[in-house]
Amino acid sequence: MGSRNSVTEINELFVEAMNAGDLDLALSCWDEDTVFQTAPGTEPVSGTANLRDALQAFIDTDPHLTIEELHRVEAGDVALVALRWHLTGTGPDGAPIEMGAVDSNVFCRLPDGTWKIRIDNPFHSAHLGF
């Protein structure tokens, strides 16, 4: 399992997990208190079962995910990070899909020094025109 000692490492681990289709590893980047905005205009989800379902929907696309960190502000054990992400994959109908946006995520450092994603808002900005 990858390192989780910095925000950069947890982001790299999440991307690696998603691209490998490893749902459990991707979920391990979050904790039981994580809130995930699944799509623009929808209610965010939380709780392990709901988070699992939401991530599974992305993994079902056989994704290739890339991210680029744009900005970070840290305040002790909390970090706010803006990322540009891009995902290609296959939709349920077999057609290619492509999506991306700029997100805003909140990370928290746990007492053991590891980081977790606490708020994941991948659709913070308007959808990029893919």
Residue-range domain boundaries for the chain: 7-121
Q: Which residue has the tokens 């053991």?
A: 112
Q: Which residue has the tokens 């891009």?
A: 86
Provide the residue-wise pLDDT of the chain in tens; the chain has 130 residues: 566 889 999 999 999 999 999 999 999 999 888 999 988 888 899 999 999 999 999 999 999 999 999 999 999 999 999 999 999 999 999 999 999 999 999 999 999 999 999 999 988 765 444 4
CATH architecture of 7-121: Roll (3.10)
Predicted local distance difference test score (pLDDT) of residue 125:
65
Ramachandran region, residue 77 (left: φ > 0; alpha: ψ -120 to 50; beta: rest): alpha
For 78-95, give one letter per residue: b (16+ CB within 10 A) or e. Answer: ebebbbebebbbeeeeee
Nearest-angstrom CA–CA distance, 116 and 97: 28
Q: Which residue has the tokens 């296959």?
A: 90
Q: Would you say 26 and 17 are in contact if contact means Cβ atoms under 8 Å apart?
A: yes
DSSP for 14-58, please give it. HHHHHHHT-HHHHHTTEEEEEEE--STTSPPEESHHHHHHHHHHH
